[in-house]
Amino acid sequence: MRTFIAPAGLVFLALMLTGCFITDLTAPRGKSVRIMSQNEPAAFRDEHKDFYLLYGVLPLWRTKPEEIIEREGLAEVRVQTEDTVSDAVINLITGLIVFPQTVVVEGNYAPEHGPADKQ
């Protein structure tokens, strides 16, 4: 029994270290988008949750920033992932099976798509 537990523990540890929490940042097709630095102010901010199984190995739901960029008409964008308190609570409630991660999309509107156009 002991000879089984050690390899199983190593496999589990290897899976825990290979999480694939990936958020792709691509511009919508045919659109030029500038990546903003960390310190630049942003007129738009939106948060979404990505969900993964097995510590990020299997994505269940992933945010697609290019859809948000297109919908909002952003010309400058910054995408960040954060681990928030609510992510930790969800993680504990699901028994360390479902792993959420918060994705923050921030940006500035293109001149032809200001916030007034959204009404």
Distance CA 6, CA 59 (A): 28
What is the separation of C-alpha 21 from the centre of its chain, rounded to a whole number of angstroms? 8
| Ranges 51-55, 79-83, 106-110: which has the least confidence | 51-55
- Is residue 65 within 8 A of residue 79, CB to CB? The reply is yes
The C-alpha angle 25, 52, 92, rounded to 5 degrees, equals 130
E strands along 29-91, which residues? 34-35, 44-53, 58-61, 74-82
Supply the mean pLDDT for the chain.
Answer: 84
Inform me whether the pLDDT recorded for 92 exceeds 80: yes
Inform me whether the pLDDT recorded for 118 exceeds 70: no
- What is the SS3 assignment for 59? strand
Inform me whether the pLDDT recorded for 79 exceeds 90: yes
| Among 45, 49, 64, CA closest to 105 | 45
Distance CA 75, CA 81 (A): 20
pLDDT per residue as tens digits for the range 11-52: 766 655 556 677 778 889 999 999 999 999 999 999 999 999
Q: What ranges do the domains of the chain cover?
A: 2-110
